[in-house]
Amino acid sequence: MSKLPDTLRDNVRLLGELLGETIHAHEGSELFEKVESIRKLGKAINSAENADSAPLVKMLGDLNDADVLPIVRAFSQFLNLANIADLEYFSSAESEQEDGLKAMLLEFASVHGKEKLAQVIRQLRIELVLTAHPTEVTRRTLIRKYENISHALSEVKNDNLLTFEKDKVRHRIHRLVEEIWTTDEIRTERPTAQDEAKWGFAVIENSLWQAVPDFIRHLDNLCREHLGQSLPVDVQPFRFYSWMGGDRDGNPNVTHKVTREVLLLGRKMAAELYASDALELANDLSMADANDELRARFPNSRAPYRDAMFALRKRLLATAAWADARLQGRFTEAPEDLIVVRDDILELLMLCYKSLHDVGLPHIASGPLVNTIRRVHCFGINLVPLDVRQDGDRHVKAMDELTQYLELGSYREWSEEERQAFLLEQLSSKRPLLPAQWPKSDETAEVLDTCKVVANEPREVLSHYIISMAQQPSDVLVVALLLKESGMQWNMPIVPLFETLDDLDRAPIVMDRLWQLPWYQQYCHKTQTVMIGYSDSAKDAGKLSATWAQYKAQEKLVALAEKYATQLVLFHGRGGTIGRGGGPVEKAMSSQPPGSVKGRIRVTEQGEMIRYKFGVPRLAFSNFSAYVSATLRSTLSPHAAPAQEWRDMMELMASQSVEAYRSVVRGHPSFVPYFRSLTPEQELGLLALGSRPAKRKVSGGVESLRAIPWMFAWTQVRLNLPAWLGTRQALEYGLKNHPAILEDMIANWPFFSSFLDLLEMVIGKADRQICAYYEQQLVPVEYHGLGEQLRADLAALEVLMNRIKKQTELLSDEPILRRSLAVRKPYVDPINYLQAELMKRYRSSEDISPDLERALKVTMMGIAAGMRNTG
């Protein structure tokens, strides 16, 4: 097996040694020796073929109760530290390699011409939507410490450091490791939606605030050098948005009051960050020479730029103070110069920028001043404009209550045609529909209160209104009517979200009917965002069938948008795991249908993946580069539409896959009790995770479980079932009946080859032996037959994957990933064995001590760290 790169190996070793020293110092030599014995035994077992895990299981079983928690913590923290080493290495490796973006610009300039390429770059719009994550298991205080270690690791390899400087950095890392060890990993309280929003703001402040202008400066330099023209100062390929505090689908904790508070928090923090920039600019821009326009604004000033920045700062601080007062419940009068649009910030910045150019100081103009201007274009007046998301049935319920009160009948019982006729009539009417006072349920009152908050906020702090489980055109029209009746003065984009397999199949029909309506064509101004759900469709039908349904839906939506001359933006609701649409940006983008990108794309970035992709500036920079490269390639050089024989094959394979998947998840009588007894689904409630409940309903079975904890539970026991179940039958069908077509698809269809690559990674992370141990410890014997069936299915799929890819072992063409998984395995396995034992004790009648309950929680965190993407 290949070795880890030297830098990565050295960093893993350094962090492991420092953790060992810390454990020895705080827990004593006896416990340290137990940790080492377990680690060495795990390593020996994993380095031998067909090794017996019984000695490791026995050693773990013989532990004193008092030793379990520190040992679980030791292995869990090593995995967290190994992740830091990984992230630091790959962010550095990106910068050391030849610039892929530069190579792409040269390639496309020669094919499409410099002018066309520059035009496409200027018009790029990559919208990244930050969402909370119900399985983000790491506390914010620890995340900050991990980030500080990452920064320190980047300094260690600096060959120009003197010996005492290297010692100083090493001591800082040691101190941070000790701080981590002596900090409780477990949250005692579930974070609120406001806490989640603050976490998102912190990512912007600590990383994106610097990374965004740095990347655009880099892109501008490349365009100057290779395309012969610079980018406009207002160019902004990236825009960030948020669901934190706006996503109320299935989350009763997100109310209209929470949404209002999160919007105020964003405005306050944005104003404070811009005020800090303005102060630094005031110190930098000390020159006196200015054009007439700036002098007219600040006559007799010896430092007009400085005075302009102080004036801007004063206005920003007044806005921050106003927002803070409202957050504290003091509804003071808004200041006259309250910032309500981004031009309120840009005006003085651009005045100074133009003046500096006019008086011959372009280098000063393009310095930190441009960075702030570009931040304003990216982050606006509240850092991340908020999406509002609500379940479509809540709107139906609200309208039904209203029509029944007005004695118009039951809206819920009306046909789709009747609903549309009523809604369109009311949307065109000048008369109000909502009475001033009328009896309504708490749920309906909350829907209407949310609409009022949306109507009363500045337009720039909001983005889209998203309808979960959208099924008919009326689901969109009813939202437009509720917003109108709440006093909305602008046409907020309304986004239907198509999630299940049936919804995806119906999506083109729904949009065709909606776009036929003259009223709606005028409302949307020939621009439409449609959201494609990845999580629920995969949970509903299995990964392969869902992936194909998503592809077909996008194809049809693109064709329809062209028919109606509508600019379509596809919004991809991807998650961190493969089972929820996750994976490398390049693979995800290259597998999109041709014509579905066109320089603009919208994607969710969720919880832990926000940290892994954007948590530190260098990581953010490299991911920006990946997004721009992938978007340019999908726009300018999209792959051809699949051949008809490939499509026919995918239809047949998808049919095989969904049948196999549903025969287990829906059809097997033992599946639900097996899932419940095998996985820590029941124990997830012990963790104070996100603000949103794990289930859409308090009661209900697997069908009510959210897709994220559904995947989290299977990942914990190392079976990863949602990401592969049903694929073996599909691939076997193709290989048996049409091997030549299957081989052609692998070689020439990026959509299919990317799917197989991601599937291979999922299989590589699974561990049948570990899963069998959970079954032995936790599952009643009458359900063991299903477990044996599932593990046999996975084993057969692994053999099949190697056969299809013509290799002897999984991940042969991903040596670093293979080695990284091998390095982690001796640390993850003991946590799994201990988790199974702790779950057994927790579920038994005997009492479990607080320390053992805490250890159970830490096992969930440790396995999540070892698997990297948990939900």
| Percent helix, percent strand, percent coil in the chain, to nearest 5 | 65, 5, 25
The predicted structure's pLDDT at residue 785: 97
Contact (CB, 8 A) for 574 and 529: no
Please tell me whether the overall predicted TM-score, pTM, comes out greater than 0.85 for this model.
Answer: yes
Residue with token string 């109760």: 65
d(C-alpha 764, C-alpha 734), whole Å: 22
Write out pLDDT tens, residues 398-441.
999 999 999 999 999 999 999 999 999 999 999 999 998 999 99
Span(s) in the chain for CATH 3.20.20 = 386-613
Contact status, residue 787 vs residue 684, Cβ threshold 8 Å? no
- The one-letter code for the residue type at 669 is P
Helix ranges, 359-391 (H)? 362-365, 368-379
Spatial neighbors of 269 by CB under 8 A, at least 6 apart, are: 201, 205, 383
Task: Determine the residue type at 834.
Answer: L
Residue among 675, 678, 683 nearest 703 (CA): 675
Question: CB of 392 within 8 A of CB of 475?
Answer: yes
How much is the average pLDDT of 341-345? 98
pLDDT in tens, 429-478: 999 999 989 999 999 999 999 999 999 999 999 999 999 999 999 999 99
Check if the beta carbon of residue 364 is closer than 8 Å to that of residue 442.
no
Mean pLDDT of 640-649: 96
Of the candidate ranges 196-210, 521-535, 856-870, the one whose mean pLDDT is the lowest: 856-870
Q: Which residue has the tokens 């928690």?
A: 69
Nearest to 269 by CA among 194, 202, 369, 332: 202
Question: Average pLDDT for residues 19-47, to the nearest whole number?
Answer: 93
Phi and psi at residue 641, to the nearest 5°: -60, 150
**pLDDT tens by residue, 149-165:** 988 988 877 778 888 98
Q: Which of 88-97, 187-196, 318-327 has the highest mean pLDDT?
A: 318-327
Within 13 Å and on the Cβ side, how many CA atoms surround 386?
34
The contacts of residue 102 (CB under 8 Å, 6+ apart) are 222, 226
Q: Which amino acid is at 591?
A: S
Burial of residue 747 (number of CB atoms within 10 Å: 0-12, 13-18, 19+): exposed
What is the distance between the alpha carbons of residues 10 and 74, in angstroms, rounded to a whole number? 19
The distance from CA 264 to its chain's CA centroid, rounded to whole angstroms, is 23
Residue 696 and residue 704 in contact, taking contact as beta carbons nearer than 8 Å:
yes
User: Residue for token digits 């032995």?
Assistant: 776
pLDDT at residue 377, rounded to an integer: 98
The whole-number average pLDDT for the span 480-486 is 98
Question: Is residue 580 very low, low, confident or very high in pLDDT (cuts 50, 70, 90)?
Answer: very low
pLDDT at site 150: 87
Q: What is the DSSP string of 69-83?
A: HHHHHHHHHHHHHHH
Residue 240: beta bridge partners?
Answer: 128
* Per-residue pLDDT at 96: 43
pLDDT at 338 over 90: yes
DSSP secondary structure of 771-813: HHHHHHHHS-GGGHHHHHHHHHHHHHHHHHHHHHTT-SSTTTT
Beta strand spans in 91-149 (E): 125-131
Residue type, 31: L
Which residues are marked as active site? Answer: 133, 539
The span from the CA of 380 to the CA of 377, in Å, is: 6
Pairing between β-strand 567-573 and β-strand 600-606 as defined by DSSP bridges: parallel
Residue 375 has pLDDT above 50, yes or no: yes
Q: How many CB atoms lie within 10 A of CB 738?
A: 18
Which residues neighbour 89 within 8 Å (Cβ) at sequence distance 6 or greater?
A: 5, 7, 8, 11
| pLDDT score, position 578 | 46
Tokens linked to 864: 């999540």
- Under the banding of pLDDT at 50, 70 and 90, the label for residue 98 is very low
Local structure of 651: helix, strand or coil: helix
Lowest mean pLDDT segment, chosen from 239-243, 274-278, 536-540, 775-779: 536-540
Q: Which tens digit of pLDDT belongs to each residue from 161-205? A: 888 988 999 999 999 999 999 998 887 777 888 988 998 999 999
Helices 850-867 and 707-716 cross at an angle (nearest 10°) of 100
- % of the chain with per-residue pLDDT over 70: 94
Specify the pairing of strand 527-533 against strand 494-498: parallel
DSSP state of 849: -
Does 777 have pLDDT greater than 90? yes
CA neighbor of 352 nearest in space, from 312, 305, 320: 305
Beta-bridge mates of residue 462: 386
pLDDT at 870: 46
Query: Do 852 and 841 touch, CB atoms closer than 8 A?
Result: yes
What's the CA gap between 520 and 524, in Å, rounded?
6
**3-state SS assignment for residue 462:** strand
Average pLDDT of the segment spanning 280-302 = 96
With a cut of 60, say whether residue 277 has pLDDT above it: yes
Q: Which residues contact 225 (CB under 8 A, 6 or more apart)?
A: none
Q: Is 129:387 a contact under the CB 8 Å cutoff?
A: yes
Query: Average per-residue pLDDT in the chain?
Result: 91
Distances, alpha carbon 376 to alpha carbons 213, 275, 321, 436, 601, in Å? 10, 12, 19, 40, 21
CA distance 41 to 7: 26
What distances in angstroms separate CA 80 from CA 76, 207, 306, 697, one per listed residue?
7, 20, 45, 33
Instruction: Tell me yes or no: is domain 386-613 CATH 1.10.3470.
Output: no
| Residues 665-682: b if buried by 16+ CB within 10 A, e if exposed | beebebbeebbbbbbbbe
- Give 688's contacts (C-beta < 8 A, 6+ positions apart): 186, 187, 188, 189, 190, 191
**In which element (H, E) is residue 603 found?**
strand 600-606
Q: Who contacts 296 (Cβ-Cβ below 8 Å, separation ≥6)?
A: none
3-class DSSP assignment, residue 249: coil
Q: Which has the higher per-residue pLDDT, 34 or 49?
A: 34
Chain centroid to CA 163: 41
